[in-house]
Amino acid sequence: MTLSDLHALLPQLILALGATGILMVGAWWPSRAPWVLTGVALSFCAAISAGIVLPTVTEVGGMFGVTPYARFFTILWSILTGLTLLLSLRYAKVHRFAGAEYTALVLFAGAGMSLLSAASSLVGLFLGLETFTLVLYILIAFNRGEAIGAEAGLKYLVMGAVATGFLAFGIALIYASSGSFHLPEAMHGLQIDGQMRPLGLLGWAMLLVAIGFKVSLVPFHLWTPDVYQGAPAPVTGLLATGAKGAMFAALIPLFAALGTLTLELNAVLAALAMLSMVGGTLAALPQRNLKRMLAYSSVVHMGYLLLGLMSGGPDGQRAVIFYLIVYGIATLGAFGVITSFAQADGEPQDYETFRGLGYRHPRRCSALSAFLLSLAGIPPLAGFFGKFGIFHAALKSNHHLLALVGILAALVSVSYYLRPIIVLFMQERPAQRLRPGCTHEFAVLTVCFSLVLYLGLYPGPLLELISQILPSP
């Protein structure tokens, strides 16, 4: 590892080394808010350094790329980490989290996500993925006092361990088949007479199971509602946005490297996408718990993203990345609102506790409604263009049936997104007051809200930026 390699990895090093430093110093100097704020500062430092420090190499150790694409996602996940920490400041205080440990873990997660998005080999992919998955095991159960949190953490651990097994096995089979970990070669090596080697096919089957678990596609989604419900709200936000987004960011070059071989996977991918869209939608309909509803809705969103991924080409890739960002902002915002309402004895989740809350806390409830409407894809909010891009790409690449199912799912989704809004605003009953928000939370929510609105009105600049950073095929 040369100096230029380290220079190229500077953002990730800031995150990881900063986390280590916080962990070590925190052992002698236990404190909360200063550490969390240090974490926020470190995240933004990482984002800025990823933006302005130009690397001299294009790849580090044959595992992680330092392309504009990787840098873009490094910035994105660093900012996400920073916003999550900012959001957690008060939550951590209320729940008496150990500040240094919590901050360090979230920073590690950020580093892992940015490494995963930058992975240019299967080993790098495995490392990046496991880095933040391991961290998430702890973070989900961070609220040690609550049984439901511990249960969620345990479930995620058991399932995650199995999925990791599948992932490792799948990578091993692909290596055995193609003789390389490095991405373009590993995928090109799978090819024989224009078809995929059987061993490679088996490897991909294993890989798909692991991916299906990580991004919660039906039928590997069953853990999602339990974990979403049990985890602390800011952690759920991170899990729902960054963890899944980083996985998709890694999948885009993976599928691009696969080239025409994708056709052999298409039937299975289509089945997964269709099952996710239909199953998630149906299961979200009867929900009466906001976090569980968002869990199922994320299953549907992952179905859309898979559809975009299958569509391929610059159009599909651009649509997927745009959708990821838009979905991430709205989801982070929604969990942010839940976080800001959280009290020491728990978070408001049931619709019953939200009843008439719109009249008590109009600003936060309006923001929550905007996030939900954006998730539903209602113009002029950002979600509309996200969905539009995905379905447009799908129709252009002749996935008519899937696009139709997706559009129908989006139609039905309005029903379950509107229900909490109706509960918030349309049923007047003196709601009990929840916790008043504080400045940092409002800052994060304002950022999310403005972005949801801005990207809905002017999606052009971001789409342009995405077109520029797309990995060259």
Partner 1 sequence: MNPLLLFLIPILPLFGGVINVCFGSRLPHRLVSGLSVAAVSGSFLLATLLWPLGSGEGTRVVLFSWLKSAGFQADVGILFDPLAAVMTLMVTGVATLIHLYAAGYMAEDESPARFFALLNLFVFAMLCIVLADNLLFLFLGWEGVGFCSYGLIGFWYRNSKNASAGRKAFIVTRIGDLFFAIALLWLFSAFGTVMIEQINARVAELDPLLLTGLTLLLLGGACGKSAQLPLMSWLPDAMAGPTPVSALIHAATMVTAGVYLLCRMFPLVSLSPTGMAAIALVGALTALYAASCALAQREIKRVLAYSTMSQIGYMFLAVGVGTVSGAMFHLLTHAFFKALLFMGAGCVIHLAGGENDIYRMGGLKEKSPQVFWLFLVGILCLAGTPLTGGFFSKDAILLTAFAAGDGFYATLWGIGVLTAGLTSFYSFRLLYLVFFGTARQAGQGHAPSPLMLWTLPPLALLGLCTGLLNLPHLFGGHEWLTLWLGQPMAEMLPVGTEIGLLFLMLIFFVGGWVIAHVRYRTFPGDEQAGWRSFLLSGWQADRVYELILLRPYRAICRFCWQGGDKALIDGVMEGLARLCLHWGDYVRRLSNGQVAFYLQGFAWGLLLIVGWFLLASVK
Beta carbon of residue 213, minimum distance to partner 1 (angstroms, whole number):
7
Beta carbon of residue 228, minimum distance to partner 1 (angstroms, whole number):
11
Does 268 help bind partner 1 (rule: CB under 8 A)? yes
- Name the segment binding partner 1 (CB under 8 A); options: 61-69, 275-283, 301-309, 335-343: 275-283
Q: Is 443 left (phi over 0), alpha (psi -120 to 50) or beta?
A: alpha
Instruction: Determine the longest span between alpha carbons in the chain, in angstroms.
Output: 70
Q: Please list, in sequence order, all residues whose beta carbon lies within 8 angstroms of the beta carbon of residue 412, skipping any fewer than 6 positions away.
A: 281, 285
- Name the segment binding partner 1 (CB under 8 A); options: 16-24, 46-54, 154-162, 427-435: 154-162
- Name the segment binding partner 1 (CB under 8 A); options: 34-42, 151-159, 302-310, 419-427: 151-159
Burial code of 130-143, b = ≥16 C-beta within 10 A, e = fewer?
bbbbbbbbbbbbbb
Beta carbon of residue 148, minimum distance to partner 1 (angstroms, whole number):
11
Beta carbon of residue 106, minimum distance to partner 1 (angstroms, whole number):
26
Q: Which is nearer to partner 1, 191 or 195 (CB)?
A: 195
The pattern of x and - marking residues 188 through 217 that bind partner 1 according to CB under 8 A reads -------x--x--xx-xxx-xx--xx----
The pattern of x and - marking residues 290 through 329 that bind partner 1 according to CB under 8 A reads ------x---------------------------------
Beta carbon of residue 205, minimum distance to partner 1 (angstroms, whole number):
4
Q: Which is nearer to partner 1, 186 or 211 (CB)?
A: 211
DSSP 56-114: S-SEETTTEE-SHHHHHHHHHHHHHHHHHHHHHHHHHHHTT--HHHHHHHHHHHHHHHH
- In angstroms, the CA 329 to CA 464 distance is 19
Which residue bears the tokens 């001299």?
56
Q: Which is nearer to partner 1, 35 or 296 (CB)?
A: 296
Q: Which is nearer to partner 1, 41 or 161 (CB)?
A: 161
Q: How many residues bind partner 1 (CB under 8 A)?
A: 41
- In angstroms, the CA 18 to CA 39 distance is 8
User: Can you state the percent helix, strand and coil of the chain, rounding each to 5?
Assistant: 80, 5, 20
The pattern of x and - marking residues 158 through 177 that bind partner 1 according to CB under 8 A reads xx--xx--x-----------
Beta carbon of residue 177, minimum distance to partner 1 (angstroms, whole number):
13
Beta carbon of residue 219, minimum distance to partner 1 (angstroms, whole number):
4
Residue of 5, 130, 146, 264 interacting with partner 1 (CB under 8 A): 264
Least Cα distance to 38 among 94, 99, 111, 93 occurs for 99
User: What stretches of 285-381 show up as alpha helix (H) in DSSP?
Assistant: 290-311, 313-341, 351-354, 362-376
Q: Please list, in sequence order, all residues whose beta carbon lies within 8 angstroms of the beta carbon of residue 46, skipping any fewer than 6 positions away.
A: 11, 12, 14, 15, 18, 74, 78, 81, 110, 114
Under 8 Å between Cβ of 338 and 291: yes
According to CB under 8 A, which residues from 324 to 353 bind partner 1? none
Phi, psi of 346 (to 5 degrees): 140, 175
SS3 sequence of 319-338: HHHHHHHHHHHHHHHHHHHH
Residue of 1, 286, 345, 433 interacting with partner 1 (CB under 8 A): 286
Beta carbon of residue 105, minimum distance to partner 1 (angstroms, whole number):
23
Q: Which is nearer to partner 1, 87 or 284 (CB)?
A: 284
HSE, CB side, 13 Å, CA atoms: give it for residue 406: 29
Q: Which is nearer to partner 1, 65 or 230 (CB)?
A: 230
According to CB under 8 A, which residues from 216 to 245 bind partner 1? 219-226
Does 39 help bind partner 1 (rule: CB under 8 A)? no
Under 8 Å between Cβ of 355 and 431: yes
Beta carbon of residue 423, minimum distance to partner 1 (angstroms, whole number):
17
Q: Which is nearer to partner 1, 64 or 156 (CB)?
A: 156
Beta carbon of residue 201, minimum distance to partner 1 (angstroms, whole number):
5
Under 8 Å between Cβ of 340 and 441: yes
Does 279 help bind partner 1 (rule: CB under 8 A)? yes
Beta carbon of residue 257, minimum distance to partner 1 (angstroms, whole number):
19
Q: Which is nearer to partner 1, 213 or 385 (CB)?
A: 213
Does 56 help bind partner 1 (rule: CB under 8 A)? no
Which residue bears the tokens 């959001």?
87
Q: Please list, in sequence order, all residues whose beta carbon lies within 8 angstroms of the beta carbon of residue 256, skipping any fewer than 6 positions away.
A: 312, 317, 471, 473
Beta carbon of residue 64, minimum distance to partner 1 (angstroms, whole number):
29
- In angstroms, the CA 38 to CA 346 distance is 27
Question: Which two three-digit tokens encode residue 305?
Answer: 């993203």
Which residue bears the tokens 């077109």?
467
Residue of 100, 129, 258, 284 interacting with partner 1 (CB under 8 A): 284
Residues of the shown chain interacting with partner 1 in the complex, contacts defined by CB under 8 A: 154-155, 158-159, 162-163, 166, 195, 198, 201-202, 204-206, 208-209, 212-213, 219-226, 264, 267-268, 271, 279, 281-287, 296, 412, 415
